Amino acid sequence: MTTVACIPAFNEEGVIGDLIKNTLSYVDSVVVCDDGSSDNTSVEAKEFGALVIKHNENKGKGAALRTLFEHVRRSNAEIVVTIDGDGQFLPNEIKKLIKPIQDNLADVVVGYRFDDGDEMPSYRKFGNKILDHATNIVTNLPIRDTQSGFRAYSKKAIEQIEFSNDGFTADSEILINAAEHGLRISEEKITVIYDTGHKTSTKNPVSHAGGVLGSLIEIILVKHPLKYLGIPGILVVLLGLGFLSNTISIYNETLELPISFALVSIAILTLGILLLLSSGILFAINRSVFHK
């Protein structure tokens, strides 16, 4: 089966060459999307045998992956492997990722990193686990490492998966879309190297996790508005009605309006009604956009 490796890369000069060289031992070809690098990433990638597609400016990992997906859809690739360009993953484990696809047991195989307690810094593991849980809310799948960039896809998966996020949320969005299409998703344990001798992250981990989590919450609310907005809205309205009933009861007994209770009642009822309206609007949008 023709296997193509896709590498999104941003300023990976000094790393990308060896990565491509090692990867070519396990795939038929390598395609690199240079996402607006300011160094010689493109030159080095070409020298080591990769086809390079270059963005004129840095658009984000998701945009680079989308460019790579669009390219391989037009190729004869039967299996596509994505691997980050920072050298943290081992190309010799590509064999492990593609085997379930070769055996027709999976359409998407995710390399997960968390069996060994000391592999990932604790703050990164904590942030990734939060993002994993948020993604799994939408997919209804117990995926252990939704943020891993080391994956394998069948031709069917590449043809069906669609995603729009330009940033790191694309990793989660791809899995969400794969689950919506009923694609078979499995996992294989892989090795990760955090001390590569080069800088492996260009973003602050807090801002990275916060940005991805914010986008995931947006996806969750849009795709499941009745569950995550409608039901809380009903509960909030009931709470507001309880405060309102108490306000009326106090007024009947004292003939004086308890201003504080009245304001709290109005605020809670307003919040509940807004949640219900938002859930209804998002539900209508969801039906018209995602279920055509």
Q: With 60 as the cut, is the pLDDT of residue 205 above it? A: no
Q: Is residue 69 very low, low, confident or very high in pLDDT (cuts 50, 70, 90)?
A: very high
Q: With 70 as the cut, is the pLDDT of residue 256 above it? A: yes
Q: What percent of the chain has pLDDT over 70?
A: 80
Q: 93-107, 125-139, 177-191, 215-229: which range is least confident on average?
A: 125-139
Answer for the pair 159, 153: CB distance below 8 angstroms, yes or no. no
pLDDT (tens digit per residue) in 25-48:
999 999 999 999 999 999 999 999
Answer for the pair 62, 43: CB distance below 8 angstroms, yes or no. no
| Stronger pLDDT, 194 or 193, i.e. the higher one | 193
The amino acid sitting at 256 is E
SS3 at position 110? strand
Looking at every residue in the chain, the average pLDDT score rounds to 85
Long-range Cβ pairs for the range 182-185 (8 Å, 24+): 183/107, 183/108, 183/156, 183/157, 184/105, 184/106, 184/107, 184/108, 185/106, 185/107, 185/108, 185/109, 185/110, 185/139, 185/141, 185/143
Average the pLDDT over 231-254 and give the result. Answer: 90
| pLDDT at residue 188 in the model | 94
Point out which residues pair with 146 in neighbouring strands.
Answer: none
Give CATH superfamily name and number for 3-223.
Spore Coat Polysaccharide Biosynthesis Protein SpsA; Chain A (3.90.550.10)
Q: 29-38, 66-75, 82-91, 112-121: which range is least confident on average?
A: 112-121
Of 79, 87, 23, 15, the closest CA to residue 51 belongs to: 23
| pLDDT at residue 134 in the model | 62
| Stronger pLDDT, 50 or 252, i.e. the higher one | 50
* Distance separating alpha carbons of residues 46 and 125, to the nearest angstrom: 34
Domain residue ranges in the chain: 3-223, 225-290
Q: What percent of the chain has pLDDT over 90?
A: 55
Beta strands in 121-274 (DSSP E): 151-154, 185-189
pLDDT (tens digit per residue) in 124-173:
555 666 666 666 666 667 788 888 899 999 999 999 999 988 887 888 88
Q: With 80 as the cut, is the pLDDT of residue 197 above it? A: no
Q: With 80 as the cut, is the pLDDT of residue 200 above it? A: no
Backbone angles phi, psi at 262, to 5 degrees: -65, -45
| pLDDT at residue 119 in the model | 54
Q: Is residue 225 very low, low, confident or very high in pLDDT (cuts 50, 70, 90)?
A: confident
Q: Is residue 113 very low, low, confident or very high in pLDDT (cuts 50, 70, 90)?
A: confident
Average the pLDDT over 182-202 and give the result. Answer: 78
Question: Please, what is the angle between helix 61-73 and helix 170-180, to 10°?
Answer: 50
| pLDDT at residue 281 in the model | 82
